[in-house]
Amino acid sequence: MTSKSTIGVIGAGTMGSGIAQVAAAAGHPVRLLDTRPEAVDKALASLEKTLQRLVEKGTLKDDAARALRDRITPARVVEDLAGCDLVIEAIIEDLGVKKALFQKVEAAVPVDALLATNTSSLSVTAIAAACARPERFLCLHFFNPAPLLPLVEVVPGLATDMAHITAAADLMRAWGKTPVVCKDTPGFIVNRVARPFYGESIRIYEEGLADMPVIDEALRSAGGFRMGPFELMDLIGNDINFTVTRTVWEAFFYDPRYKPSFTQQRQVESGRLGRKTGRGYYTYADAAGVAKPTVEPAIAEQIVERVLAMLINEAADAVFWGVASAADIDLAMTKGVNYPKGLLAWADERGAAHWLQVLEALQHAYGEDRYRPSPLLRRAAEQGTSLYGRR
Ligand SMILES: NC(=O)c1ccc[n+]([C@@H]2O[C@H](COP(=O)([O-])OP(=O)(O)OC[C@H]3O[C@@H](n4cnc5c(N)ncnc54)[C@H](O)[C@@H]3O)[C@@H](O)[C@H]2O)c1
């Protein structure tokens, strides 16, 4: 694969339009396809505006912007992708629809073209099963907004040829991205490891230990997170966040660690989806935004410790199950969701024994399997070893 290789992008929505921009910025000719041609027109018009802003800011030269824009051409039917060396799909999150699409794509492209899905929650292996040559199928999971967030999770299915994974990761590096290779397991790295940031914060609220603005402020001021969980859920959309939570929980065969909450379900049912509907956990009536409370340092510390213990446990467990290396998990959380530090390096600051003790106290207090410590956390605590240093 070279910068001259043609990239096909299917789905011109939020993700597909961003991915097309990234590929074109790296110099590739890009063919952009959507079942709704107006979606492609809209994506190109919006790209035009983005590029114009970059030119005005002086970050991009006028001729470079024009060249980038000209490298993306609309495709009207799947057969228009005939010359593509790599096709990245970013359509509706539906297994049946994705499988049907890839059967058509496979018939249209050369036998050595790579096929990739941008799925967030489906099994890569299950989509690949629709292909006659599943060995050339993989997942390239970009983050929103794709032009800005560097992380790409590169995920092989059961039948994927690992040489294609190496080539795809190299290509992502050439696009200026940070690839991390991970196993085909629910939520990959980020959507799995980040679950407690939302789930445990909601638990703290549901128990009446603290109000939402207090929890948000604690995680911002004492935790160093850019946004608190409730304001972040409002930004992502409570419908989207709830779907991810429920999908991960179901895909883990109802492991209580990922159990969704009534609090979030009721938000969705009431239509309080967040910023996009003007109301979520907060009301967005005026531009001033949400008032920030003052939080007692001791309370902030307690909140951060509980949420962080759950996050660290999740990250350690992902290492334990071989989802990815400790270094890649830390990279994923800092490059994909802007965490202030990698969770495993963060854990090492106080040592695994401290976090084990926090989890054991929670498990003792609640008697729930939700708080069970990962075997890796326990081992690191007992041996006094680093979590970040684990392979
Ligand atoms: N939005 C995110 O934050 C995010 C992040 C990472 C991955 N993803 C994944 O990316 C994919 C797309 O998500 P999105 O948010 O961009 O969705 P979107 O709704 O913004 O865009 C999807 C586009 O696909 C088109 N489409 C639907 N079926 C099609 C078909 N059969 N052939 C061609 N085009 C078709 C639709 O017309 C629409 O324009 C999903 O698999 C999603 O899980 C989303």
What tens digit of pLDDT does each residue of 54-94 get?
A: 999 999 999 999 999 999 999 999 999 999 999 999 999 99
- For ligand 1, atom 3, the nearest C-alpha belongs to 144
- pLDDT > 90 fraction of the chain, expressed in percent and rounded: 96
Asked: is 7-181 a CATH 1.10.10.1590 domain? The reply is: no
Q: Which residues are tagged catalytic?
A: 120, 141, 153, 191
Q: Could you tell me which of 75, 74, 123, 135 has the C-alpha nearest to residue 99? A: 123
Please check the confidence at residue 142 and state whether its pLDDT lies above 70: yes
Position 345 scores a pLDDT of 97
Residue ranges of the chain assigned to CATH 3.40.50.720: 7-181
Shortest-distance atom of ligand 1 to CA 101: 31
| Mean predicted confidence (pLDDT) in 291-316 | 96
Computed over every residue of the chain, the mean pLDDT equals 96
| Atom 6 of ligand 1, residue of closest alpha carbon | 143
Predicted confidence band at 340 (pLDDT cuts at 50, 70, 90)? very high
| pLDDT at position 288 over 90 | no
pLDDT score for 388: 94
Amino acid identity of residue 316, one-letter, is A
Q: Which atom of ligand 1 is nearest to the CA of 16?
A: 16
**Would you state the pLDDT for residue 1?**
85
* Ligand 1 neighbours (beta carbon < 6 A): 10-16, 33-36, 39, 90-93, 97, 101, 118-120, 142, 144
Pocket test for ligand 1, best of 17, 19, 34 (most atoms within 8 A of CB): 34
Cα separation of 330 and 74, whole Å?
38
Contacts of 270 (CB under 8 A, 6+ apart): none
How far is the centre of ligand 1, averaged over its atoms, from the C-alpha of 224 (Å)? 32
Which ligand 1 atom minimizes the distance to the CA of 89? Answer: 11
Q: Where in the chain is the domain with CATH 1.10.1040.50?
A: 192-380
Work out the angle between the directed axes of helices 62-71 and 14-25 (0-180°, nearest 10).
120
The pLDDT confidence band at residue 3, using thresholds 50, 70 and 90, is: confident
Distance, CA of 55 to CA of 49 (rounded, Å): 10
Rounded to the nearest whole angstrom, what is the distance from the C-alpha of residue 104 to the centroid of ligand 1? 17
How far apart CA 309 and CA 83 sit, in angstroms, is 49
- Decide: 353 and 381 in contact? Cβ < 8 Å: yes
Site to substitute for ligand 1 among 32, 77, 92, most atoms within 8 A of C-beta: 92
Q: What is the pLDDT of residue 176?
A: 97
pLDDT band at 289 (very low <50, low <70, confident <90, very high): low
pLDDT of residue 389: 87
Residue 304 CA to ligand 1 centre (angstroms) = 34
Give me ligand 1 centre to Cα 12, in Å: 7
**pLDDT at residue 127 tops 70:** yes
Res 391 pLDDT > 60: no
- Best mutation site among 15, 32, 40, 139 for ligand 1 pocket (most ligand atoms within 8 Å of CB): 15
Query: What CATH number does domain 192-380 carry, 1.10.10.60, 1.10.10.10, 1.10.1040.50, 1.20.120.10?
Result: 1.10.1040.50
Burial status of residue 71 (CB atoms within 10 A of its CB: 0-12, 13-18, 19 or more): buried
Cβ of 182: how many Cβ atoms within 10 Å?
25
Confidence category of residue 287, pLDDT binned at 50, 70, 90: low
Chain position carrying tokens 């009301």: 283
39 pLDDT tier (thresholds 50, 70, 90): very high
The model's pTM is: 0.95
Specify the DSSP element, H or E, that contains 171. Answer: helix 162-174
Q: What is the mean pLDDT of residues 144-164?
A: 97
**Residue pLDDT, tens place only, 175-194:** 999 999 999 999 999 999 99
| Rounded distance from Cα 221 to ligand 1 centre (Å) | 35
